[in-house]
Each structure stands twice: as structure tokens, then as C-alpha cells.
Amino acid sequence: MSPEDEKKARELIKEMWSRDLLQEDVKAFAESDLGQSLEVKRLFGVALIQGLNNPDAGMFDLGVALAADLLRQGTPLPPELAAFVADVLEGDRKRPTKRGPDPNSHWKRDYELARIVVAISRKFGLPEYTNNDLSNKVTAVQLVADTLDISSNIVLHALRQHEDLIK
């Protein structure tokens, strides 16, 4: 990789890291033909309703965020979501808590790291990672880790965790 390409890659990494990639991806999906299909919307709606019946912390947060977004847009809430919000406002439902660390506490960060690795790999023709610790190859994982001052093990774990979702 030339020094000029490396500089461009590092700038792109920083620029992507400054954005909310997950929100951008969700919005792009929602606006896509697949995201606009009635069957996909129905399936998402059913999954959301089922999840809000006995939500974990992530589903609770999703329900609250979705309701807040719909209210800000002036869109009426579906009856099931309205009932959930009413229960939250009246204090009948509280955000679930669990002892110990939240296993999904870094999900968004890891998703965005994985997205950046894949984008850098594709744009600059770099391997995503290497299994050979003695290799001198520049990899997208190493470039992202160095640029963002994050352990390459964290970046590699993020890529492996979200590989199927991103590719």
C-alpha cells in the first residue's frame, strides 16, 4: 500500500468513525425496495410486538426510540406500541436490568468497526485480516485499529461477530 493510499484510508476511517453508520444502514434499508415491502414491514412489526411483550434492555430501548421518533414526526403510534409507551409513562414498565456486564454493550461499536474494516478492505484491496501473526501484510483490521487507537483483537472480534450481517 502506497503512503498516499494509506493516508487516504486513514482519513476515510476517521470520517466513517465520526458518523452513525448503524443509523445510516437502517435508514438505507428502510428506504430500499426490500425495506419498503409490506411483508418485511409486517414481519418487523410482528417481531417488535413480540419483543415488547417481555423485552430485554435492548428491545426496551428500541421500543422507546421508535416511539420517540414516530412522535417527533407526528405519526400515530400503532396500538401495541402505544400501550407499551403508556405503560412506561405510567411507571408500570421499567427498563429491564440484569446483574453483571451487558453482553451487548459494545454491539453498536463492534458493528461500526466491522463496517469500516469491510469498506477499507474493499476500497483499497486489502485483506481484512491475516491468521499469520508473523505476516508483514497491511490488513484492514490493523489499519483500522492503528488509526482509531483500538486493540486489533477488539477490531478482529468485531469483524468476526458481525461478518454475516455486513457481507
Per residue in 16-48, pLDDT (tens digit) is 999 888 778 777 776 776 656 666 566 666 667
Non-local CB neighbours of 78 within 8 Å, separated by 6+ positions: 45
What's the whole-number mean pLDDT along residues 56-73?
81
Give the lowest-confidence range in 50-54, 70-74, 145-149, 155-159. 50-54
Q: What is the pLDDT of residue 38?
A: 64
Q: What is the DSSP string of the chain?
A: --HHHHHHHHHHHHHHHTS-HHHHHHHHHHHSHHHH-HHHHHHHHHHHHHHHHS--HHHHHHHHHHHHHHHHHTPPPPHHHHHHHHHHHTTS------SS--TTTTHHHHHHHHHHHHHHHHHHT--S--S-TT-----HHHHHHHHHT--HHHHHHHHHHHHHHH-
Query: Which pTM value belongs to this model?
Result: 0.66
In single-letter form, the type of residue at position 20 comes to D
**In the chain, where the domains are located:** 3-23+102-166, 27-89
In single-letter form, the type of residue at position 76 comes to P
Pick 51 or 20 by higher pLDDT: 20
Q: What is the pLDDT of residue 46?
A: 67
Pick 29 or 111 by higher pLDDT: 111
Query: What are 78-92's pLDDT values in tens digits?
Result: 888 888 889 889 998
* Rounded CA separation 115/9 (Å): 14
* Rounded CA separation 77/87 (Å): 14
* Rounded CA separation 105/3 (Å): 36
Q: What is the pLDDT of residue 42?
A: 65
Q: What is the pLDDT of residue 41?
A: 62
In single-letter form, the type of residue at position 163 comes to E
* Rounded CA separation 20/108 (Å): 9
Non-local CB neighbours of 25 within 8 Å, separated by 6+ positions: 115
164 and 33 in contact (C-beta within 8 Å)? Answer: no
